[in-house]
């Protein structure tokens, strides 16, 4: 079997415990080596160690221990070898202290000593495990593949966590945008309602203004007619003068008393007439538009902050 120079193992314990064979001792000359899962080589068999003593790293102060499943009855230490790394296979026969079976009900069990190998002339000797290096390389390849798979798994888990976090952030941003959209729609509805109310009030004011203008024109025509009639009659009496000062239309049309100052001092009509109510409507519409703009700006800021 291939063996790395300078590597040795001092067996401190080699015992049967139930259905496990426990090997314990101290390594030397293994500085810089990385142990894989130990294997017990028994003739043409390889028995992998159990995982209870993992990771099997050698230490100077603490004995190195490994346990192997054993169902072969008595143990022949001369046929056993320990395989822990590529080109590190050490026999256990020379350094074996003793092999003891599992304690039974007998209060004083007698330990079984390791038997030296006896020659068997009837059968040819077992061939050396020539395939041990290839098996070691295969184990190393499997360990490297396992480590690579674990790294890929960790990377995939990290990417999955990042994707989940990004999705949650997108969901939160979408919820904020939907809330801002709903608030903007509500503000728009309020503005449209205010605008409709303002339009209705303006239309009502325009109707009242048209009625007043109609009454004003009617009274103006009546005044002109009465003055022309008074000039024709040529009456200069006081009663007639007082009648001229107060036209007949004033007595017949009650709304004329509200526009008498305009009748006495008629003004030239302009193309664009804006009343105080029209100016008030314009101010209200300006305030509503400014409020809608501010609400829309705040909604946009809330989406991006």
| pLDDT tens digits, one per residue of 129-184 | 444 556 767 877 787 788 788 778 877 888 898 889 889 888 898 988 898 898 88
Taking residues 282-290, report their average pLDDT.
91
User: Residue 107: pLDDT above 50?
Assistant: no
Q: What is the pLDDT of residue 40?
A: 92
User: Are 64 and 54 in contact, with CB atoms under 8 Å apart?
Assistant: no
89: β partners = 83
266: Cα within 13 Å, side-chain hemisphere: 11
Q: What is the pLDDT of residue 26?
A: 92
Higher pLDDT, 26 or 277: 26
Taking residues 86-107, report their average pLDDT.
56
Distances (CA, A) of 47 to 17, 21, 80, 151, 221: 16, 10, 11, 28, 128
User: Are 278 and 202 in contact, with CB atoms under 8 Å apart?
Assistant: yes
Q: What is the pLDDT of residue 48?
A: 94
The pLDDT confidence band at residue 95, using thresholds 50, 70 and 90, is very low
Length of the chain: 305
Higher pLDDT, 105 or 8: 8
Mean pLDDT across the chain, nearest whole number?
Answer: 76
pLDDT in tens, 210-267: 887 888 888 888 888 988 888 888 765 555 555 455 555 445 455 555 555 555 555 5
pLDDT in tens, 34-79: 889 999 998 888 999 999 898 898 887 889 999 999 987 778 888 8
Q: What is the pLDDT of residue 39?
A: 94
Least confident of 22-26, 60-64, 269-273: 269-273
């Amino acid at each position: 079997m291939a063996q790395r120079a300078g590597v040795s193992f001092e067996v401190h314990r080699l015992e049967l415990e139930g259905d496990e064979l426990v090997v314990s001792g101290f390594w030397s000359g293994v500085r810089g080596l990385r142990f894989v899962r130990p294997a017990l080589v028994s003739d043409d068999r390889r028995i992998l160690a159990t995982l209870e003593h993992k990771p099997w790293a050698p230490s100077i102060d603490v004995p190195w221990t490994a346990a192997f499943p054993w169902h072969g009855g008595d143990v022949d230490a001369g046929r056993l070898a320990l395989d822990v790394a590529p080109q590190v296979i050490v026999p256990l026969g020379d350094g074996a202290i003793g092999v003891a079976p599992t304690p039974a009900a007998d209060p004083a069990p007698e330990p079984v000593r390791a038997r030296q190998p006896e020659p068997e002339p009837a059968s040819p000797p077992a061939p050396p495990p020539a395939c041990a290096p290839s098996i070691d390389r295969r184990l190393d390849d499997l360990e490297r593949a396992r480590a690579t798979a674990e790294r890929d798994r960790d990377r995939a888990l990290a990417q999955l966590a990042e994707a989940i976090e990004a999705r949650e952030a997108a969901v939160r941003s979408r919820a904020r945008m939907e809330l801002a959209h709903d608030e903007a729609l509500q503000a728009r509805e309020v503005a449209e309602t205010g605008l409709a109310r303002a339009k209705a009030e303006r239309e009502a004011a325009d109707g009242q203004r048209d009625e007043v203008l109609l009454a004003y024109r009617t009274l103006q025509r009546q005044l002109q007619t009465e003055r022309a009639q008074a000039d024709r009659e040529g009456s200069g009496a006081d009663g007639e003068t007082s009648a001229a000062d107060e036209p007949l239309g004033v007595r017949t049309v009650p709304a004329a008393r509200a526009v008498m100052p305009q009748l006495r001092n008629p003004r030239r009509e302009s193309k664009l007439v804006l009343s105080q109510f029209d100016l008030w409507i314009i101010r209200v519409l300006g305030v509503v538009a400014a409020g809608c703009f501010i609400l829309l700006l705040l909604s946009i800021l809330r989406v991006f902050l």
